[in-house]
Amino acid sequence: DTAVSQTPKYLVTQMGNDKSIKCEQNLGHDTMYWYKQDSKKFLKIMFSYNNKELIINETVPNRFSPKSPDKAHLNLHINSLELGDSAVYFCASSGIAGRERETQYFGPGTRLLVL
Amino acid sequence: QKEVEQDPGPLSVPEGAIVSLNCTYSNSAFQYFMWYRQYSRKGPELLMYTYSSGNKEDGRFTAQVDKSSKYISLFIRDSQPSDSATYLCAMSRMDSNYQLIWGAGTKLIIKP
């Protein structure tokens, strides 16, 4: 059973297009995150949602818009894609108490390549 | 200066060696310390978790936290080629909603 899943796994698209990445977790967690990992492997937090409410919104272009239809899903929509958006995007989730709250569980990642 | 410093490597060692990976940090308020392992083209997976100072052991892995020196370590005994991966340290504190602050990751290569 996949705990945190993302679709698609790979995404190749042209500059200027709009695309979405979907994330689902079946761990019963109530906080979900989007990270961007660049070619040097540095993980940068983009957004965090707790029970469908935005709690972290780091400095990212407003072309990126997260949407959380329910606490098990967090999608990422990207408008007007640019070359610099090429990266691996990870979804993660965390729970409400103890170790589940203090650690995060990651999905397999979506590799985005903008041409 | 970054909040968490980690040497990106790569670190290359022969199979069977003891590996030591380290991170230093600047904020003494961090309470929770983690090591994640990330294989190529996979997501990070939690390897070790420690609350406050001390040691924690799990099989061939030992995590150490020295809050007085603001220094955390991960030791791998009897290293195997399957341990080749990027190891990321992360830490958090309660008053910042447990947001994880990450090191840059160290790429580890175990040579057979």
Q: What is the pLDDT of residues A1-20, one digit of tens each?
A: 669 999 999 999 999 999 99
Q: How distant is the Cα of B44 from the closest Cα of chain A, in angstroms?
A: 6
pLDDT digits (tens, 9 = 90+) for A51-110: 878 887 788 899 999 999 999 999 999 999 999 999 999 999 999 888 888 899 999 999
Residue B104 has its nearest CB partner, among A41, A94, A103, at A41
pLDDT computed for residue A1 by the predictor: 65
Q: Tell me whether residues B99 and A101 touch, CB distance under 8 A.
A: no
More confident residue, B77 or A54: B77
Q: Tell me: the pLDDT tens digits for B42-74?
A: 999 999 999 988 899 999 999 999 999 999 999
- Residues A23-28: contacts with CB within 8 Å, 24+ apart? A23/A73, A23/A74, A23/A75, A23/A76, A23/A91, A23/A107, A24/A72, A24/A73, A25/A72, A25/A91, A25/A93, A25/A105, A25/A107, A26/A1, A26/A2, A26/A72, A27/A3, A27/A93, A27/A95, A27/A105, A28/A95
Determine whether A32 is exposed, middle or buried from the number of CB atoms within 10 Å of its CB (0-12, 13-18, 19+): buried
Cβ contacts of B65 on chain A, cutoff 8 Å = none
**What tokens were used for A65?**
């818009």
* Residue of A40, A107, A58 lying closest to B45 (CA atoms): A107
Written as six digits, the tokens of B78 are: 């009897």
Q: If DSSP codes are grouped into helix, strand and coil, which group holds residue B112?
A: coil
Rounded to whole angstroms, how far apart are CA atoms B39 and A4? 17
Q: Tell me the average pLDDT across A39-43.
A: 87
Confidence of residue B94 (pLDDT cuts 50, 70, 90): confident
What would the pLDDT profile of B24-45 be if each residue is shown by its tens digit? 999 999 999 999 999 999 999 9
Other C-beta atoms within 10 Å of A22: how many?
A: 16
Beta bridge partners of B109: B12
**pLDDT of B1 higher than 80:** no
List of chain B residues whose C-beta atoms are within 8 Å of the C-beta of residue A90: 43-44
- Report the residue from A4, A99, A104 with minimal CB separation from B100: A104
B42 touches chain A (CB under 8 A): yes
| Average per-residue pLDDT for chain B | 95
Give every CB contact of residue A107 below 8 A, 6+ residues apart in sequence: A4, A5, A6, A23, A25, A90, A91, A92, B43
Hey, which of A6-15, A31-40, A43-52 has the most confident mean pLDDT? A6-15
Say if B34 is an interface residue toward chain A (CB within 8 Å). Answer: yes
pLDDT of residue B14: 97
Share of chain B above pLDDT 90, in %: 88
Check CB contact of A98 with chain B, cutoff 8 Å: no
